[in-house]
Amino acid sequence: MRILLIEDNQEIRENICEILELDGFDVITAANGKEGLDLARESVPDLIVCDIMMPVMDGYTVLYFLSKEPKTADIPFIFLTAKAERLDFRKGMEMGADDYITKPFEDVELINAIRSRLKKKELVRKEYSKDMQGLDQLVSDAEGERALKNLIENREVRDYKKKTDIYREGDYPLYLYYLQSGKAKAYKTNEYGKELIINLYNEGDFIGYTDLIRESNFNETLTALEDCKVILIPRKIFSDLILKNPSVSIKFIQLISKNIQTIESELIKLAYNSVRKRVSESLLLFFKDETESLKVSREDLASKAGTSLETAIRTLSDFKDERLIEITGGRISLLDVDRLRNMRN
């Protein structure tokens, strides 16, 4: 296991490094926050131990930037500090730190904290394939026998035609949904009837778990973008599974955390990105296979990009003129994916 240690005090840094290496860890070190941030992005360690008060960039800032990047957001993060005030502790935890150790500390305290966080990381590391086999594997990996049997034996599959609502905003959730095939959109409507797509779902996605866990009505409407097959897992079976199986609970907590990060990123893009960049990024989201030709509703594209229908159509026309896309019979083909993905703001 590789540990990144970010500490500006050379003596403390060397002592901690020796402790960790004696316990069998591979340790890389940084003398300030900026150096540590660069190393984390480059090496993607299994865990980070970071001082708070440092020159160039403090620990809070390091954690902030790492939490915004997909490849580093899930790295366990332990703060080290000589300050023991409650406000410092709360600030670190609220920002997403996994633990907080106050100097001076015993060697075993640090080692135990690291091993505890690495063990929890292992529970959520396993990836499941996005098909029925993957769902069965998720089920077989959990331990609640009765709940798992119910989940397997009482699986209902429903077909939804294109443009059919699977559930509507305000409905009470009765099922956890698993998209076996097809595509769907989740959207909200404002008081003037204007839609904003907040999520796009593809084959292999779980849907509706946030409102099931919160025990609240659905916060958005889910509609089929194309013909879909959806597996319905009854609410009680899902609830039993969550309550009895920590590994499954952690998996869905991880999914919720990723959704929150995605929404935060989308809000920033909506606020600061140009229309061209928003339309190009939204367009790419509709394509599961970038080599295929796809019929994308201009209304859905405008809704996802957060712009007017007229602006979305005009932007698509510009993309066509620039040979970024091709439009034939209403179907869109991507001609230059790299330029679309790296559209300048």
CATH of region 149-270, choose from 2.40.50.140, 2.40.110.10, 3.40.50.620, 2.60.120.10: 2.60.120.10
Question: Residue 150, Cβ neighbours under 10 Å: how many?
Answer: 18
Instruction: Note whether 184 and 224 are within 8 A (CB).
Output: yes
Q: What are the start-end ranges of the H helices in 126-214?
A: 132-141, 145-153, 209-214
Task: Return the exposure string of 152-179: e unless at least 16 CB atoms fall within 10 Å of the residue's CB, then b.
Answer: eeebeeeebeeeeebbeeeeebebbbbb
The pLDDT confidence band at residue 143, using thresholds 50, 70 and 90, is very low
pTM of the model: 0.50
CATH of region 273-342, choose from 1.10.260.40, 1.20.810.10, 3.30.70.20, 1.10.10.10: 1.10.10.10
What does the pLDDT read at residue 152? Answer: 46
List where CATH 3.40.50.2300 sits in the chain: 2-130
Which one has a higher pLDDT value, 257 or 282?
282
Say how far apart CA 21 and CA 318 lie, in whole Å. Answer: 57
List where CATH 2.60.120.10 sits in the chain: 149-270
Which one has a higher pLDDT value, 95 or 7?
7
List where CATH 1.10.10.10 sits in the chain: 273-342
The pLDDT confidence band at residue 288, using thresholds 50, 70 and 90, is confident
What does the pLDDT read at residue 150? Answer: 53
For range 42-46, the mean pLDDT: 92
Residue 245 scores a pLDDT above 90: no
What does the pLDDT read at residue 138? Answer: 54
CATH of region 2-130, choose from 3.40.640.10, 3.30.300.10, 3.55.40.20, 3.40.50.2300: 3.40.50.2300
Who's near 184: CB < 8 A, 6+ residues apart?
Answer: 166, 200, 201, 207, 222, 223, 224, 225, 228
Could you read off the pLDDT of 147-169 as tens digits, one per residue? 444 554 557 889 999 999 999 99
